[in-house]
Structure formats: structure tokens, C-alpha cells
Amino acid sequence: SFSGHTYPELLAVFPENDILERTSMNSWDDQNVRDALARNAANGRKKIVVSGLWTEVCNTTFALSALHDVPDYEIYMVADASGGTSADAHKYAMDRMVQAGVIPVTWQQVLLEWQRDWA
């Protein structure tokens, strides 16, 4: 990707998943990313969970672009699993995304919603 290779330790967690390498800061600019999300949406999976570094750049540009082009998507921004270049940059990027319709969540919310059961 534009910032280097994915760590092998991360790849080992989900070896059956394809990695989408990209060169732009805005993932939405990459046709492979849009195609993968469109395939999921065609199967009824329209929720996108976003986290990562540089909330004010990578996360915000992706979320706003995706919502603009495909208003049916639900974008969930994991606020405490992301970071900006400063606390203000992160906060204002989060505010901007929320104003556009992105749903802010925490890592624990995501984890427990996916878990669904203690068994």
C-alpha cells in the first residue's frame, strides 16, 4: 500500500481474506475498494466499519466520498481505534463526519455487537 506492506502478523489472523493494496490516501479513489464494497452491498451488506490513522485525511475522505456516491451505505467510524495528527484534528474530523451522517462508535461497541452471545 502507499505506506508500506501489511505486517505478516496481521495477515495471519485472517489468511482467507484478500488484501486490497492501494496507493491513495482516500481508499474510495481505488476502484478495487469500490468494487469489493459493491459486491458486499449486492449481498445486502451495506454497513462499513472504518478505523485507522489520520482521521482527518484517510478516514474522513473515504467516509464522505462513500456517502456521497452511495447514500445507502451506513458508515460506522470507530473513534477510539483511530487517530489524527492532533487531538483537535481528530475531533474536528469526527464532527465533520457526524454532520455528514457517519455514525460514531467505540471499539467496544463494535466488538460486542459482532459477538452477540457469551457462549
Catalytic hit among 50, 58, 64, 93:
58
> Catalytic: 58?
yes
Residue whose C-alpha is closest to residue 63's, from 109, 25, 36, 107: 25
Q: What are phi and psi of 6, to 5 degrees?
A: -75, 135
Q: What are phi and psi of 21, to 5 degrees?
A: -75, 145
Give CA–CA dist 5/47, Å, rounded. Answer: 26
Tell me the chain's radius of gyration from C-alpha atoms.
Answer: 15
* Residues acting as catalytic residues: 58
